[in-house]
Amino acid sequence: MWRHAAARRSAQIRRLLSTSAPSSGAGSAVRGPCIVHKRGTDILHDPWYNKDTAFPLTERDRLGLRGLLPPRVMSFEQQYERFINSYHSLEHNTQGEPDSVVSLAKWRILNRLHDRNETLYYRVLIDNIKDFAPIIYTPTVGLVCENYSGLFRRPRGMYFSAKDKGEMMSMIYNWPAEKVDMIVVTDGSRILGLGDLGVQGIGIPIGKLDVYVAAAGINPQKVLPIMLDVGTNNEELLEDKLYLGLRQPRLEGEEYLAVVDEFMEAVHARWPKAIVQFEDFQMKWAFETLQRYRSRFCMFNDDVQGTAGVALAGLLGAVRAQGRPLADFTKQKIVVVGAGKSSAGIGVLNMAKHAMLRMPGTHKIGELGEGHNQFWVLDKDGLITKSRKDLDPAVARFARGYGPEEVEDLHEGASLVEVVKKVKPHVLLGLSGVGGIFNEEVLKAMKESDSPCPAIFAMSNPTTKAECTPEDVFKHVGENAVFASGSPFSNVTLSNGRKGYANQANNMYLFPGIGLGALLSGARHISDGMLHAAAEW
Ligand SMILES: NC(=O)C1=CN([C@@H]2O[C@H](COP(=O)(O)OP(=O)(O)OC[C@H]3O[C@@H](n4cnc5c(N)ncnc54)[C@H](O)[C@@H]3O)[C@@H](O)[C@H]2O)C=CC1
Ligand SMILES: CC(=O)C(=O)O
Ligand SMILES: [Mg+2]
């Protein structure tokens, strides 16, 4: 009896262990077998297990695939090469087409591979992340989100809508993976600088999680992109026949928070250790949800905290690039454009101020005090001073008029060019979402900066919303300028043949490390200290 049972069991195990994990490219170590409970076309239609023509004949026999594939067996490396060739042939075939057409064609071919064969997809992505990041991430992901309802072919991730209230705890179990480590969730209310894109914002969590896989080596089977659809206030989408989200105005107030609360409870009931990254929520909800959940769950807000970390790293790097000791960071004059009430800019100001107060070497912690203000902050109404009506408390500590180092002759609401001319800042940082706002006049005024190497950070996304281009900076500010942007630009050839670097200041350089660090350390919360450390190191 025992022998029969054991034989049955070992036959069952042989069937289960019937495919070897695909090699992940040239020179990779041979891995163990991979357990597959499916057979035949079910395997070919499952992107986790599908190897297309790379199934060897023995596996085709074992898995019931014989006859379901063309007879020629290709190696993983041959498939890889074929994909890369067809990707690059797109560049040739779309010559003369607008950039957006070429980028969308590239996104489509990558997305089709993602839908078909995850192993090959992540291999090509990891090996070519520098080339593919502008396609799966900003700027092309913005275009994809804008056109998502028309581009939609297959779902990816999970969708929780306001209509699912009361059901989320059971819905969460519809996700097929047993374990999830990393979740990126959006409500689609502020997608890059493109505004409210409703359900179409799902492209952002998908792109961010691809960056997690490529940059931090997170297991792609343990990531989950999520859309919380609470409606949209985008009239165009509400009238669009193809729009795939709820056709209702956004929930507000307690109704909104009740949906997010239920979602967070559901996620943590199933995966108590999952890390949740909030992404592209309009800022009033970004700050509110961060305060609401940060001590209960392992979560962070990428736009508030990740952006602040990467901007701080840039500000510290600018001091070095200007040839000054790091302690001089506390003496930098920084103009921040786009940091009104509830904005990513406020996150940057808070973290930079905190870093100044903690700066070792020059003074004891706290010595600088609240009155120390190295910032000039502008929002859509110009320079923010203490005489601003209805001054938000979060902005008030950065409003001019409180500090001893006041530039007296700048008035409330002063324009950007006035501020730059008077202050002669070392750094001009934009998170305004207003493309081209650092115009020729502003950049020429930066030429008179008190630094020989002024730094200009045009951090708004996507490319169309960048405050300026690197060409404009090197032309109008000078070839010693330090430039960084949120979306990628090409380097610029300077007059002497040297390279003018178009650096990138995007939270993608920080969030993968935060997620990975939190995961490996088993952190229960993500503290400000972790973000500071990530920025400073
Ligand atoms: N590079 C990066 O890693 C990141 C970039 N961003 C980008 O930052 C931008 C803004 O995002 P949020 O803060 O969430 O948007 P938001 O709409 O909450 O804030 C924008 C701020 O810009 C101000 N503003 C608008 N027009 C202005 C003008 N003409 N002059 C000066 N200020 C003006 C507004 O008053 C507001 O304070 C977006 O384009 C986004 O893509 C956001 C997060 C990360
Ligand atoms: C980069 C990013 O997170 C944003 O533009 O919202
Ligand atoms: Mg974002």
Q: Is 307 in the pocket of ligand 1 (CB under 6 A)?
A: yes
Q: Is 141 in the pocket of ligand 1 (CB under 6 A)?
A: no
Contact 425, 454 (CB under 8 A): yes
Best substitution site from 280, 304, 485 to test ligand 2's pocket, by max atoms within 8 Å of Cβ?
Answer: 280
Contacts of 141 (CB under 8 A, 6+ apart): 107, 135, 192, 203, 204, 207, 462
User: Is the complex ipTM higher than 0.90?
Assistant: yes
**pLDDT at 414 > cutoff 70:** yes
Best substitution site from 189, 506, 510 to test ligand 2's pocket, by max atoms within 8 Å of Cβ?
Answer: 506
Q: Lowest-confidence range among 25-34, 330-339, 377-386?
A: 25-34
Q: Is 145 in the pocket of ligand 2 (CB under 6 A)?
A: no
Over residues 7-15, the mean pLDDT reads 40
Neighbours of ion ligand 3 (CB under 5 A): 280, 303
Which atom from ligand 1 is nearest to the alpha carbon of 190? 14
DSSP 72-135: ----HHHHHHHHHHHHHHHHHHTTTS-HHHHHHHHHHHHHHHHHH-HHHHHHHHHHTHHHHHHH
User: Which ligand sits nearest to residue 484's alpha carbon?
Assistant: 1
Question: Beta strand pairing status for 19-20 and 427-430?
Answer: unpaired
The predicted pLDDT at position 372 comes to 67
Contact 346, 392 (CB under 8 A): no
Q: Which residues is 490 bridged to in the sheet?
A: none
The phi, psi pair for 481, rounded to 5°, reads -65, 155
Q: Is 430 in the pocket of ligand 1 (CB under 6 A)?
A: no
Which atom from ligand 1 is nearest to the alpha carbon of 344? 13
Question: Which tens digit of pLDDT belongs to each residue from 69-103?
Answer: 999 999 999 999 999 999 999 988 888 899 999 99
Over residues 346-358, the mean pLDDT reads 92
For tokens 């795939």, what's the residue? 244
Percent of the chain residues past pLDDT 70, beyond the cut: 91
DSSP 382-437: EE-BTT-TT--HHHHTTSBTSSTT--TT--TT--HHHHHHHH--SEEEE-S--TT-
Q: Tell me the pLDDT band of 12, cut-offs 50, 70 and 90.
A: very low
**pLDDT at 38 > cutoff 50:** yes
User: Which ligand sits nearest to residue 433's alpha carbon?
Assistant: 1
Tell whether 506 is in a known binding site: yes
Q: Is 205 in the pocket of ligand 1 (CB under 6 A)?
A: no
Work out the burial of residue 365: count CB atoms within 10 Å of its CB; fewer than 13 is exposed, 13-18 middle, 19 or more buried.
Answer: exposed
| pLDDT, averaged across the chain | 91
CA-to-CA separations, 425 to 326, 330, 358, 467, 501, in angstroms, rounded: 17, 13, 22, 17, 21
Q: End-to-end distance of the chain based on CA atoms, in angstroms?
A: 63
Q: Tell me the pLDDT band of 24, cut-offs 50, 70 and 90.
A: very low
Over residues 35-56, the mean pLDDT reads 95
Residue 195 alpha carbon to ligand 2 centre in Å:
12
The predicted pLDDT at position 92 comes to 86
Tell whether 280 is in a known binding site: yes
User: Which ligand sits nearest to residue 337's alpha carbon?
Assistant: 1
User: What's 446's DSSP letter?
Assistant: H
Over residues 260-278, the mean pLDDT reads 98
Question: Which tens digit of pLDDT belongs to each residue from 205-263?
Answer: 999 999 999 999 999 999 999 999 999 999 999 999 999 999 999 999 999 999 999 99
Among the options 137, 148, 293, 509, which is catalytic?
137
d(CA 75, CA 34): 18
Task: Output 276 or 27, whichever has higher pLDDT.
Answer: 276
Q: Tell me the pLDDT band of 3, cut-offs 50, 70 and 90.
A: very low
**pLDDT at 58 > cutoff 80:** yes
d(CA 451, CA 474): 15
The predicted pLDDT at position 507 comes to 98
**pLDDT at 340 > cutoff 90:** no
**pLDDT at 393 > cutoff 70:** yes
Q: Is 461 in the pocket of ligand 2 (CB under 6 A)?
A: yes
**pLDDT at 157 > cutoff 90:** yes
Mapped onto helix, strand or coil, the DSSP state of residue 3 is: helix
Cα Rg of the chain (Å, integer): 26
Q: Tell me the pLDDT band of 342, cut-offs 50, 70 and 90.
A: confident
Which atom from ligand 2 is nearest to the alpha carbon of 191? 6
Residue 189 alpha carbon to ligand 1 centre in Å:
13
- The closest of 455, 416, 209 to 332, measured between CA atoms, is 455
Q: Is 427 in the pocket of ligand 1 (CB under 6 A)?
A: no
The packing angle between helices 528-536 and 511-521, to 10°, is 120
Over residues 432-444, the mean pLDDT reads 98
Q: Tell me the pLDDT band of 408, cut-offs 50, 70 and 90.
A: low
Q: Is 383 in the pocket of ligand 1 (CB under 6 A)?
A: no
Tell whether 190 is in a known binding site: yes
User: Which ligand sits nearest to residue 382's alpha carbon?
Assistant: 1
d(CA 429, CA 335): 6
User: What's 53's DSSP letter?
Assistant: G
**pLDDT at 278 > cutoff 60:** yes
Q: Tell me the pLDDT band of 31, cut-offs 50, 70 and 90.
A: low
Tell whether 303 is in a known binding site: yes
3-state secondary structure 258-309: HHHHHHHHHHHHHCCCCEEEECCCCHHHHHHHHHHHCCCCCEEEHHHHHHHH
Q: What angle do CA 514, 340, 283 make, to 5 degrees?
A: 45
> Does 208 qualify as catalytic in the annotation?
yes
Tell whether 279 is in a known binding site: yes
Q: Tell me the pLDDT band of 432, cut-offs 50, 70 and 90.
A: very high
**pLDDT at 162 > cutoff 50:** yes
**pLDDT at 299 > cutoff 60:** yes
Residue 192 alpha carbon to ligand 2 centre in Å:
5
